[in-house]
Amino acid sequence: MDSRPSTSTATQMKNQKAPLQSKLFKDPIYDYIEVHRAALLIIDTPQFQRLRHIKQLSTVHYVYPGANGTRFDHSLGVYHLAGKLVRCLKDKQPELGLTEVDCLCVELAGLCHDLGHGPFSHIFDQQILPRLEVNHSHETLSVKMLDYMYSMNNNQLKQELQAWNITEQDWEFIKSLIICEPCERSTGREKTNSFCMTLCRTKKVEMMLTNGTICYEIPTTLGGKYSTWARMVSVKHSFDYERVLHYARVITDEGRPHICVRDKMVNNISALLYKIQSA
C-alpha cells in the first residue's frame, strides 16, 4: 500500500510554511549575520524599516561618496557584535548566570539602540530637537519608540515576543540597556548584570589596569560604528574585534563588574580609542 500523501495533501503541506526561527543577512563587514525570530519581529516594523533611509554619518556622503551606510546597517552590526560578546561571556563564565533570554535581551537592545534617530542622525539631535525644545537624547527617544511599538496594534508585538519568552521584566531590562540606567520599573537585573550596560553604551569610554588585566568599558556600538566608518571613508585601522571577544572576561573590581581583556590587548584597544577620538 502506498503510504505517500496524496497530491492535494502534499500541496497543502508545502504551502503551510513553518515560521522562520532565524534569518541570514549578508553584511559587508561581518559577512553573515544570523538574526533571531524575535529580532525579525522588530525589524519588520515600519518604525525599524525607516532606519534604512537615515544615513549613519549624516551629511558626510557629500564629501565622501562612499559614506552611504545607514542606521539600519549599523543596528544589525551592533546586534551581531553585542550577541557574540555576551554569548562568549556566557560560555566562558557560567558563574555569571547569564541565560539565553539575557543574551537575547542584549541583542535586542543592540538592535534597537538607534531607533530614536531622526533625519540626518546626530544633526537632528544637535540642531533640530533644541529648536523644538525637545530635551531628549536619541537613546531616550529610542525607548519611547520601543514602548509605542510594543503597545501598538492591540499589543501584537508584545504578544509575539512573549512567545519567545520576552516578558515585561525583560522588556524593562532591554530599555535599561539602551539608556544605560535603570528604567522606572527597574527589575534589579541592571545591578546584577550591570556589565551588560557597556555592550550598548554609546558615549562613555573608560580604561584602567587591574592586576595585569585591562578593565575597560568600550561599547560594542563603537566597535561596530568605527568598522563601518573606516570602510565608508577608506580609513585603515588595526582593531581586531574577534581577538577582543576571545579574551573578554568579566572581573569585579571594587565591587563593580567590568568587561576585561588581557594586558596584551592594550595596543589594539588604544589604537581604537585614538581612531575614535580623532575621527
Q: d(Cα 16, Cα 82) in Å, to the nearest integer?
A: 34
Kindly report which listed range (10-19, 246-255, 264-273) carries the lowest average pLDDT score.
Answer: 10-19
The model carries a pTM of: 0.81
Q: d(Cα 109, Cα 201) in Å, to the nearest integer?
A: 10
* Side-chain half-sphere exposure of 21, counting CA atoms within 13 A: 0
Confidence grade of residue 4 (pLDDT, cut at 50, 70, 90): low
Q: Which whole number is the average pLDDT over 41-48?
A: 92
Burial grade of 196 (CB within 10 A; 0-12, 13-18, 19 or more): buried
The average confidence (pLDDT) of the chain is 77
Confidence grade of residue 13 (pLDDT, cut at 50, 70, 90): very low
258 is catalytic: no
Residue 200 is predicted with a pLDDT of 67
Order of all β-strands in the sheet with 249-253: 206-210, 213-217, 256-262, 249-253
- From residue 127, how far is each of 33, 62, 64, 145 by CA, in Å? 34, 19, 22, 20
- Give residue-wise pLDDT tens across range 121-177: 777 777 777 788 777 777 888 899 898 888 876 678 888 888 888 888 888 889 888
Q: Indicate whether 60 pLDDT > 60.
A: yes
- Give residue-wise pLDDT tens across range 200-236: 665 545 555 555 555 555 555 555 556 666 666 666 6
Residue 52 is predicted with a pLDDT of 93
Confidence grade of residue 184 (pLDDT, cut at 50, 70, 90): low
Q: d(Cα 250, Cα 232) in Å, to the nearest integer?
A: 33
The CATH class, in words, for 23-277 is mainly alpha
Looking at per-residue confidence, does 186 or 135 come out higher? 135
Q: Indicate whether 14 pLDDT > 50.
A: no
* Side-chain half-sphere exposure of 71, counting CA atoms within 13 A: 25
Q: Indicate whether 49 pLDDT > 60.
A: yes
Helix, strand, or coil here: 25?
strand
Q: Which of 80, 117, 138, 258 is catalytic?
A: 138
